[in-house]
């Protein structure tokens, strides 16, 4: 287990490299050395103690990305309390339900307040940041157990029902080790952090690998394609690692200032959180950018990753790679028997990077884990002869048409190859003849007008007839969560009411 291994990387590097820069706020321009960052965290510990926060208490944050939010997270963790970053894109009733579920004692926010649960007090995050300099750092508390929860992350709710996933210090460290090895993270590396900190990419994957290695991270309030392009090309920032969901990568390439030839320090553009079509990966390689896809979940952190090898990335485009060094994976059939290479099976994961369970939902732990401790991801994977795994689809998204299994991810990958398709999502819908048929929601590329015949003919070149969607809808945008995942449960509702292309 990892509860005693470099359990506090900030404190470690405050001793090893006290004057090295650890982070910078890209709006204010303020930067912190490891020594300053460590001291500000201890000042925040003192503030939290004065508010009566102790082990096990929840402290929520409702705010855009900032270094201040990371300071609060680190301080909460040092106290043995639990940090709860909330999705500021949610409506007040949705936020109120999450607050009622996690019952925090404090809510740091400068946003309009949702309904507050009893015993919770709102505090200005901006005021905390401004007043830290005048606060005396607290004595360093004893290091809490690495097995106790230190973060609750609410899932993005692609099924419409968010769950509070428990993350431990062990989880954070294991994810940092996994990504650092798979992503070739070194001490001098710099991460750009603009994925939202209410998501596992934002609060864990962007932050913990550079902290573990003594590198640095740059924080922006959020993703804006043109600003991100500008920052990736700024040699003074020296960004080596950028992690985003595929939708964000698409926004970068379509922004007017897209110029990857200036991304001279970038080792790779890392993607995860949603399927990344092979055509997109090959396109980025043609632009001179290593697009490195991987696999993880809120429940498992960084799990699988591709190597930073141009030939392998091109040859195995569509794969999400090999398991990180602290992770074990299996592909199993419905009876939990391991499947041979080339055969689809559900991906099971075990290791110190796996959540111990869900806040207030012990029944979810029972449902999602095997008796011997493997978490069921609900994702279907296929392993090739070299051990590389590709995600075929979500168990719940696959459908049966005329007795044949159909993977929406496979159909989406075929449709996205058409130059007129900017984005696409495929679902199964009821059909009296075939049981279920494919229904595709397409966002057209600029200058294109698509019709079912064009799209059907395109699919015929690479898909069996039963896999080709029978219904097509052209939409302006796909419904997505705050982390960029397509909300297919909303598309299923829309499929019954939206007019189809004819």
Rounded to an integer, the average pLDDT of 227-233 is: 98
CA 202 to CA 221: how far, in whole Å? Answer: 11
**Contact of 190 with 213, CB cutoff 8 Å:** no
CATH number at residue 64: 3.40.50.12780
Q: For residues 203 and 101, state if they share a domain.
A: yes
Q: Starting at the earlier edge strand, list the strands of the sheet with 345-350.
A: 328-332, 345-350, 375-383, 389-394
Report the domain count for the chain. Answer: 2
Q: For residues 407 and 384, state if they share a domain.
A: no
Nearest to 147 by CA among 420, 406, 376, 356: 356
The label of the residue with tokens 């509702």 reads 493
Numbers of helices and strands, H then E, in the chain: 16, 24
Degrees, nearest 5: CA angle 297-299-301: 55
Last residue of a domain, one of 350, 367, 389: 389
Angle between helices 34-50 and 9-16 (to 10 degrees): 140
Q: Quick: pLDDT tens for 429-439.
A: 988 888 789 99
Q: For residues 307 and 407, state if they share a domain.
A: no
In a domain, 470, yes or no: yes
Nearest to 442 by CA among 434, 433, 451: 451
Q: Quick: pLDDT tens for 381-416.
A: 999 999 999 998 777 788 878 767 788 888 999 999
Angle between helices 246-254 and 278-286 (to 10 degrees): 40
Q: Quick: pLDDT tens for 53-84.
A: 999 999 999 999 999 999 999 999 999 999 99
Residue 162's pLDDT band, with cuts at 50, 70 and 90, is confident
Q: For residues 430 and 410, state if they share a domain.
A: yes
Q: For residues 234 and 372, state if they share a domain.
A: yes
In a domain, 502, yes or no: no
What pTM value is reported for the model? 0.85
pLDDT at 157: 55
What percent of the chain shows pLDDT beyond 70?
96
In a domain, 501, yes or no: no
What is the DSSP pairing of strand 389-394 with strand 404-406?
Answer: unpaired
Last residue of a domain, one of 349, 371, 389: 389
CATH number at residue 415: 3.30.300.30
In a domain, 3, yes or no: no
* Mean pLDDT score of the chain: 92
Q: For residues 167 and 185, state if they share a domain.
A: yes
Q: For residues 449 and 341, state if they share a domain.
A: no
Q: For residues 261 and 281, state if they share a domain.
A: yes
Q: For residues 404 and 281, state if they share a domain.
A: no
Q: For residues 371 and 404, state if they share a domain.
A: no
Q: For residues 217 and 335, state if they share a domain.
A: yes
Question: Does residue 271 or residue 481 have the better pLDDT?
Answer: 271
In a domain, 1, yes or no: no
| Residue span of the structural domain in which 310 resides | 9-389
Pick the most confident of 153-167, 299-313, 446-460: 299-313
In a domain, 4, yes or no: no
Q: For residues 402 and 254, state if they share a domain.
A: no
Last residue of a domain, one of 366, 389, 412: 389
In a domain, 453, yes or no: yes
In a domain, 362, yes or no: yes
Residue 90's pLDDT band, with cuts at 50, 70 and 90, is confident
């Amino acid at each position: 287990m990892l509860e005693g291994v470099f359990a506090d990387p900030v404190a470690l590097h405050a001793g090893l490299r006290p004057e090295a820069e650890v982070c910078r706020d890209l709006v204010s321009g303020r930067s912190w050395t490891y020594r300053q960052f460590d001291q500000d965290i201890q000042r925040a510990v003192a503030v939290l103690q004065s508010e009566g926060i102790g082990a096990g208490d929840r402290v929520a944050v409702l705010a855009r990305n900032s270094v201040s939010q990371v300071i609060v997270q680190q301080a909460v963790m040092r106290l043995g309390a639990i940090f709860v970053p909330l999705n500021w894109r949610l409506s007040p009733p949705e936020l109120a339900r999450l607050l009622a579920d996690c019952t925090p004692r404090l809510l740091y926010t400068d946003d309009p307040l949702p309904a507050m649960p009893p015993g919770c007090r709102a505090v200005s995050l901006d005021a905390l940041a401004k007043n830290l300099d005048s606060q005396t750092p607290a004595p360093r508390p004893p290091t809490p157990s690495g097995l106790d929860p230190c973060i609750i992350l609410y899932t993005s709710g692609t099924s419409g029902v968010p769950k509070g996933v428990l993350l431990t210090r062990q989880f954070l460290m294991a994810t940092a080790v996994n990504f650092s090895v798979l992503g070739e993270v070194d001490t001098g590396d710099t991460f750009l952090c603009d994925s939202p900190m209410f998501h596992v990419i934002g609060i864990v994957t962007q932050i913990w690998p550079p902290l573990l290695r003594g590198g640095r991270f740059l924080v922006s309030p959020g993703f804006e394609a043109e600003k991100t392009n500008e920052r990736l090309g700024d040699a003074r920032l020296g960004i080596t690692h950028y992690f985003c969901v595929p939708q964000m990568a698409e926004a970068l390439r379509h922004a007017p200032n897209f110029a990857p030839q200036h991304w001279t320090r970038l080792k790779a553009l890392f993607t995860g959180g949603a399927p990344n079509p092979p055509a997109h990966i090959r396109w980025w390689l043609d632009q001179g950018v290593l697009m490195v896809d991987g696999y993880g979940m809120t429940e498992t952190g960084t799990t699988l990753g591709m190597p930073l090898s141009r030939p392998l990335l091109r040859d195995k485009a569509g794969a999400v790679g090999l398991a990180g060094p602290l992770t074990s994976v299996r592909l199993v059939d419905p009876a939990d028997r391991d499947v041979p290479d080339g055969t689809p099976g559900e991906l099971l994961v075990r290791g110190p990077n796996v959540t111990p369970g869900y806040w207030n939902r012990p029944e979810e732990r029972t449902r999602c884990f095997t008796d011997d401790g493997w978490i069921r991801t609900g994702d279907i994977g296929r392993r090739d002869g070299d051990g590389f795994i590709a995600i075929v689809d979500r168990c719940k998204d696959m459908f049966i048409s005329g007795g044949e299994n159909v993977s929406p991810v496979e159909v989406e990958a075929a449709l996205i190859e058409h130059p007129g398709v900017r984005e696409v999502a495929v679902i199964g819908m009821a059909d009296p003849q075939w049981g279920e048929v494919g229904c595709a929601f397409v966002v057209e590329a600029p200058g294109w007008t698509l019709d079912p015949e064009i799209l059907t003919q395109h699919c015929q070149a690479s898909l069996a007839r039963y896999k080709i969607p029978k219904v097509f809808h052209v939409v302006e945008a796909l419904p997505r969560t705050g982390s960029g995942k397509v909300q297919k449960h909303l598309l299923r509702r829309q499929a019954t009411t939206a007019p189809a292309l004819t």
